[in-house]
Amino acid sequence: MTLQDHVATLCAYLDQYKDMSNSPQQDEYSGRFFNYVVSACWRKMHKRITCWSGIALLYNWHEKFKPFEREIEKYDWEQVQFTSRGKGDKTLAAFLIANPTTMGVLEDFLAKFYKSVFPANQKDFPVLMSTVHSPEGPFYGNGPIYTKETVGEFHRLVYATLFAFGSLLCLLDDNMTRKKHETPPANPAGDEKDPKTTTENLFFILGGVIRLLTYIFCSSAFKIHIEIISDNGQKLPTYLMPRFEYHEDYLDFGREWKLRRGECKAADNLKSAGNLKSAGNLKSAGNLKSAGNLKSASNADLNEPVDNDEYNLGIRQLESEKVCRYA
């Protein structure tokens, strides 16, 4: 599988997506393609989030958490009133409503891995979830998702999603590496610790977290949030931009938080990764022709072709579960 195959897959998708412009199946088709991208490209995502500049984003978000909170506290909320949702906010709200499994994963991360940042009573998102479920909220109505009341939990949501993204990619890489070097158990179906079972669950969980991260970044709420925590962008270079002179600090942070290859936290430390059952609470994605009908792809790196078993495993799990997508 080569870069050329990947390009052929992308072209086939774009051609068919354009042909379905007036079809109600277009969103389902797009969702199925998303599954393909996660399965084919997760190793590239892993390499990028675990390099020094990728870890720098997580490091800065972690180290600057208190300064970010101070920027939020001093913001003049009386001067600026958010009265309605912005572009992308309804999509984000819809995902939060429809995907309690993914939200449970984030709460798991906040509760178990990041106690030094959040007190025990700040591992969930009650105000934010109440807002998105409200009849006047951003999904059922036209209200804002980002307000003075939800900003603290939105801040934690971004933090938890970023770290879950990095940690799950490391877990998946570690699990795939062990899977290739271990002898399968005699009765895989009956063994809850079977690496294959855990890997399939990780693919499913990772797919949900990547979708959530995408919807956060594409929302108006995130744009406003970045403006507020960076003092209208003036402190953005200081707060979030990676600086090479600190790359050793970033790598030390990656090792401390198990965000480097071979150093991830054991999958059984994450409750949702080991015992997640099939999730009927997520909506199906699909009418894209099966990946076998499109050319299989690499992760866009000619020197690193995709492993067929890994790709097929990811596609099988992501498409066996029901994955939500709202346009």
Please, are residues 305 and 2 in contact by the beta-carbon 8 Å criterion?
yes
Segments of the chain with pLDDT less than 70? 1, 113-121, 181-197, 261-327
How many whole angstroms from its chain centre is CA 305? 23
Give the other-Cβ count within 10 Å of 77's Cβ.
15
CA distance 228 to 258: 30
Total length of the chain: 327
CA distance 131 to 138: 8
Can you spell out the DSSP letters for 71-113?
Answer: HHHHS-TTTS---S--TTHHHHHHHHHH-HHHHHHHHHHHHHT
Q: Give the pLDDT score at 318.
A: 57
Distances (CA, A) of 246 to 141, 163, 241: 46, 20, 11
> Residue with structure tokens 């980002």?
146
For residue 155, give both structure tokens: 């801040």
Name the burial class of residue 81, with classes exposed (0-12), middle (13-18) and buried (19+) by CB atoms within 10 angstroms of its CB: exposed
Kindly report the pTM of this predicted structure: 0.77
Please, are residues 264 and 170 in contact by the beta-carbon 8 Å criterion?
yes
Helix (H, G, I), strand (E, B) or coil at 28: helix
Helix (H, G, I), strand (E, B) or coil at 324: coil
Widest distance between CA atoms in the chain: 66
Give the other-Cβ count within 10 Å of 156's Cβ.
22
